Structure 1
């Protein structure tokens, strides 16, 4: 999947996936294969859940984690979708191997 990349200088994170786009904070991140892979994994997750349900599950998982950990960083890092993306961002062939619904293993 080759997603269009948009540079958003005021983005609150280095990268973000909002189907069908990858948003990046700076032009130099276009050359970072790990962040591109991380965000592409999120695009796959969004497709797996037919886009809108992904955002609902992501948000509710974050809220549950925030209640559980009482810490934004821990809540964010333990979102099931983020776990899959962080665990596999360095494997640039992860998506080519299939691995559909890999985030379910993080439940």
Structure 2
């Protein structure tokens, strides 16, 4: 399934994947291959966890990290789903070779 793109200029980040959408701040970002790939990785993570469990694990991982690091940015960048997405966002063929539940190795 391919995500639908939405434009929301008030988005606090450049992009965000919320099934079934990839929300971006500016229409020009739709042509940024790294940003789109990063969000598509999240899209795949959401699908393999049947969507709702992804959000619960994402939030739980963020909260644990926030207690651990006492810093929003460190908490965010240490979310296991973000680690996978940032590690592979420049590999534009990553999703073709990605194994199911690849994010588990970032636990």
TM over 0.5: yes
* C-alpha separation in 2, matches of 1:83 and 1:48: 17
What's the offset of the Cα at 1:48?
0.9
Which whole-Å deviations, capped at 9, do the CAs of 1:28-73 have from their partners, x for residues lacking one?
1011000000000000000111000000000000000000000000
**4+ residue segments displaced more than 6 Å:** none
Name structure 1 gaps, 5 residues minimum. Answer: none
Q: Distance in 2 between matches of 1:81 and 1:57?
A: 9
**Secondary structure of the corresponding residue to residue 22 of structure 1:** strand
**Where does the alignment leave 5 or more consecutive residues of structure 2 unmatched?**
none
Q: How does the TM-score come out when normalised to structure 2?
A: 0.97
Residue 28 of structure 1 corresponds to which residue in structure 2? 28
Q: Between Structure 1 and Structure 2, how many residues are aligned?
A: 107
How high is the TM-score relative to the length of structure 1? 0.97
Paired residues for 1:1-107 under 5 Å: 1-107=1-107
CA-atom RMSD, angstroms? 0.8
